[in-house]
């Protein structure tokens, strides 16, 4: 379909405005949660950075997309908003990978089960008489439970040695986050 020079220029300007605004957004967000970022950002901090970066991107869009068909400008603006939301999901995913508490459930739940079993076995051994078969059987079951959990954790640790090393680094980072109130200067990833 034939277009006037003004329409073609307007479309090119809108496409340029989309690129400029998405680059402005990515520049801010890459510093906060991009591939080169080292620190985990809390979800509320990431949302705030997203809001500020979106505002900056839309200001950049408005500076460039300032002439032509109003519908074309609105369509381009909607394209920018869609790309920003899509990029934000990527930044959320990248940030989640840096969460120092990620994957703790694999270790915490079995450890809690083992600790409770050990404690209950101690109580059973301390409070039951030696002639009670029920107490002895219960004590043995609890002993088996915490030994199974211990060996489960040992197997997990041996098959995932690199991930366990990263887990200890995450524990260290989590302790730093909790003890320093999230002071980002003290958290360092290897």
pLDDT of 120-160, one tens digit each?
988 888 888 777 788 888 888 988 998 999 998 888 777 76
Contact by Cβ (8 Å): 18, 76 = yes
Task: Give the helix ranges, DSSP H, for the chain.
Answer: 5-33, 43-64, 70-96, 105-127, 133-159, 161-180
User: Quick one: pLDDT band at residue 1, thresholds 50, 70, 90?
Assistant: low
Share of the chain above pLDDT 70, in %: 89
Q: Quick one: pLDDT at residue 38?
A: 79
Question: How far is Cα 41 from Cα 49, in angstroms, rounded to an integer?
Answer: 10
Q: What is the pLDDT of residues 78-94, one digit of tens each?
A: 999 999 999 999 999 99
pTM, two decimal places? 0.62
Q: What is the DSSP string of 9-51?
A: HHHHHHHHHHHHHHHHHHHHHHHHHSTT--S---HHHHHHHHH
Q: Quick one: pLDDT at residue 80?
A: 94
């Amino acid at each position: 379909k034939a277009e006037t020079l003004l329409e073609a220029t307007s479309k090119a300007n809108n496409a340029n405005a989309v690129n400029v605004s998405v680059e402005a957004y990515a520049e801010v967000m890459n510093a906060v949660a991009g591939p080169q970022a080292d620190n985990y950002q809390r979800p509320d901090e990431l949302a705030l950075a997203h809001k500020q970066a979106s505002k900056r991107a839309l200001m950049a869009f408005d500076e460039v997309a300032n002439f032509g068909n109003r519908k074309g400008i609105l369509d381009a603006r909607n394209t920018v908003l869609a790309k920003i939301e899509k990029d934000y999901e990527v930044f959320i995913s990248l940030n989640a990978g840096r969460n120092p508490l990620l994957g703790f459930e694999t270790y915490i739940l079995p450890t809690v089960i083992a600790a409770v079993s050990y404690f209950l076995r101690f109580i059973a051994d301390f409070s039951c008489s030696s002639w009670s078969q029920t107490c002895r059987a219960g004590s043995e079951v609890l002993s088996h439970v915490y030994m199974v959990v211990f060996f489960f954790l040992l197997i997990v640790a041996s098959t995932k040695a690199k991930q366990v090393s990263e887990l200890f680094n995450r524990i260290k980072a989590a302790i730093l986050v909790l003890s320093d109130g999230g002071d980002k200067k003290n958290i360092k990833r290897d």
